[in-house]
Amino acid sequence: MSTDRHYAREFVRTFFTSPTAVQGEDDSAKMLRSAAQLRGMRAPDVWVPDNEDATAPSMREEGIENIIEVVAEHGADFPGEIHPRVVWHREDPAARYQGFQQMLRVARSDTGAIEHIDGFVIPEVGDVDDWKKADEFFTIVEEECGLEAGSLSMSVIVESGEAELALGDLRAEMGKPSNNLERLFLLVDGEVDYTKDMRAMTPTGELPPWPELRHNTSRGASAAGLIAVDGPYDDIRDVAGYRERMEENRAKGMTGIWSLTPGQVVEANEAPLPPVDGRWLLEVGDEEVALEPDGEAQVYDGDEVGLDVVGDGEYALRVGGDERVLDDEELEAELLDMTAYVPSLDDIVDSMEEFEAAKEAGRGAIAMTQSTTVVIDGVSVEISRDRMWDEATYQAAQTPITLFQDVHEHRPDQHEDLEEMYGADVVERATAVGN
């Protein structure tokens, strides 16, 4: 099995769950109906009408009817994929049978809802044999309803120790002729229930960070050609924290994240896109501070770093409490070490085009120059860095571009937002480069 993705999307940024039935509302499908009509940056890549935790147990019968009704009505126009979540539990056969019935009901409905549904999400899975039970129900549903075998995707919520262990078996298991596990799509971490299953405790009750779980999910996805998605971020008002979590996740190869609100959807849709403007960072201790652009110069405006001219071509550079006297060359070297550049989408496209041209001309490696003027305490220092680009650098730089192109291809409803953000010219070049 190659690790080529068998489904259309290569990246999924947003996994948005919305309740299917709200007790006591006049219209119990109200929130569902509103989610189905989201567009642009407010619409998720994957929308999950949730008939599990977001719906009270007594409302799940009504919930599944709501899914059928709303998807039949709005599904054709929804810009993302639709993957309802049904009930399931590795230790509860009744829950599993109920999940099976829910899928069957959606698939058999004469409303045609199933035509707009890309797959189902199975929560609370256990070891890989439990995943196979779900897969078998998908297969039966497909057979019963005249769908092609494997046409419905299966996504799972990893929220137990045994499911985490199963992530290491998927690659081998998916190749077996006795199952249709090639239907697997998203591996989603569910940290709330995982924490409960692991019996973990924190003083304030906030969730542990679980870095190993996220690594293992991302690695499992990479090895089996799937897509890894992080779990919900409960504190929905904490936008900075949500962004930080997503940046951490991207460094782990996990590009997608669960969104609980349309506001989180916007954040999560935009977060993995390269920035509109490049920016310079100065590392101070363990922190990275953004420098303030002033024309071509980059100004540091803090107290932690200080710079003085103390003689002819002699400078006193202070970092925290530590001061050193340096000559021009040493100063530039030091500042080069302390600075880093975050490239914009435009910058990445430029570099890739430049490398492609060089490759065309028969050169395998070229030096890319980054230079600027850093201003600290009114003292200006020119810095310039050559970075060698070879095929490997080129390919690594390509990940954000591949993501951008994937978004552009599959989300026409976001074209306007992208053009407004980056300008039509950059968008056009970014969709063309590397192909």
Tokens of 256: 């997608």
**CA distances to 52, 163, 188 from 126, in Å:** 17, 5, 13
Q: Does the protein bind its own copies through residue 153 (CB under 8 A)?
A: no
Binding test (CB under 8 A) with its own copies, winner from 164, 173, 189, 417: 164
Q: Least distance in Å: CB of 115 to its own copies?
A: 31
Q: Contact, 253 vs 3, CB < 8 A?
A: no
Q: Which of residues 271-310 bind its own copies (CB under 8 A)?
A: 272, 275, 281, 302-303
Q: Least distance in Å: CB of 396 to its own copies?
A: 5
Of 37-45, 68-76, 207-215, 372-380, the segment contacting its own copies by CB under 8 A is 207-215
Among 189, 88, 190, CA closest to 133:
88
Distance CA 208, CA 397 (A): 32
Of 71-79, 109-117, 150-158, 393-401, the segment contacting its own copies by CB under 8 A is 393-401
Q: Does the protein bind its own copies through residue 380 (CB under 8 A)?
A: no
DSSP 339: E
Q: Does the protein bind its own copies through residue 391 (CB under 8 A)?
A: yes
Q: What's the sign of the alpha-carbon dihedral 348, 349, 350, 352?
A: positive
Q: Does the protein bind its own copies through residue 25 (CB under 8 A)?
A: no
Q: Contact, 151 vs 115, CB < 8 A?
A: no
Tokens of 58: 């007594």
Q: Which of residues 211-230 bind its own copies (CB under 8 A)?
A: 211-213, 215-216, 218-223
Nearest residue (CB) to its own copies, 127 versus 413: 127
Q: Least distance in Å: CB of 138 to its own copies?
A: 24
Nearest residue (CB) to its own copies, 196 versus 324: 196
Of 41-49, 74-82, 96-104, 208-216, the segment contacting its own copies by CB under 8 A is 208-216
Q: Which of residues 357-376 bind its own copies (CB under 8 A)?
A: 364
Q: Least distance in Å: CB of 116 to its own copies?
A: 28
Q: Which of residues 133-152 bind its own copies (CB under 8 A)?
A: none
Q: Does the protein bind its own copies through residue 193 (CB under 8 A)?
A: yes
Q: Does the protein bind its own copies through residue 260 (CB under 8 A)?
A: no
Q: Does the protein bind its own copies through residue 176 (CB under 8 A)?
A: no
Q: Is 133 helix (H, G, I), strand (E, B) or coil?
A: helix
Q: Does the protein bind its own copies through residue 132 (CB under 8 A)?
A: no
Distance CA 359, CA 343 (A): 22
Q: Does the protein bind its own copies through residue 313 (CB under 8 A)?
A: no
Q: Does the protein bind its own copies through residue 5 (CB under 8 A)?
A: no
CA 300 distance to own-chain centroid: 32
The torsion angles phi and psi of 270, rounded to 5 degrees, stand at -85, -30
* Size of interface with its own copies, in residues (CB under 8 A): 77
The neighbouring-strand residues paired with 200 are none
- Pair type for strands 81-82 and 46-50: parallel
Q: Does the protein bind its own copies through residue 208 (CB under 8 A)?
A: yes
Q: Does the protein bind its own copies through residue 392 (CB under 8 A)?
A: yes
Binding test (CB under 8 A) with its own copies, winner from 49, 231, 400, 434: 400
Angle (nearest 5°) at CA 397 between 420 and 357? 90
Binding test (CB under 8 A) with its own copies, winner from 40, 168, 293, 423: 168
Tokens of 203: 């003083």
Q: Which of residues 330-359 bind its own copies (CB under 8 A)?
A: 333, 336-337, 340-343
Binding test (CB under 8 A) with its own copies, winner from 45, 50, 53, 81: 53
Burial bucket for residue 247 (CB in 10 Å: 0-12, 13-18, 19+): exposed
Of 112-120, 148-156, 162-170, 423-431, the segment contacting its own copies by CB under 8 A is 162-170
Q: Does the protein bind its own copies through residue 161 (CB under 8 A)?
A: yes
Q: Least distance in Å: CB of 245 to its own copies?
A: 14
Nearest residue (CB) to its own copies, 209 versus 311: 209
**CA distances to 15, 88, 184, 228, 234 from 169, in Å:** 24, 21, 13, 15, 30
Binding test (CB under 8 A) with its own copies, winner from 27, 77, 176, 196: 196
DSSP 31-89: HHHHHHT--GGGS-SEEEEESSTTS-GGGHHHHHHHHHHHHHHHGGG-SSEE--B----
Nearest residue (CB) to its own copies, 244 versus 294: 244
Largest CA distance in the chain: 85
Q: Least distance in Å: CB of 279 to its own copies?
A: 9
Of 112-120, 165-173, 306-314, 421-429, the segment contacting its own copies by CB under 8 A is 165-173
**CA distances to 197, 247, 280 from 328, in Å:** 58, 35, 21
Q: Is 268 helix (H, G, I), strand (E, B) or coil?
A: helix
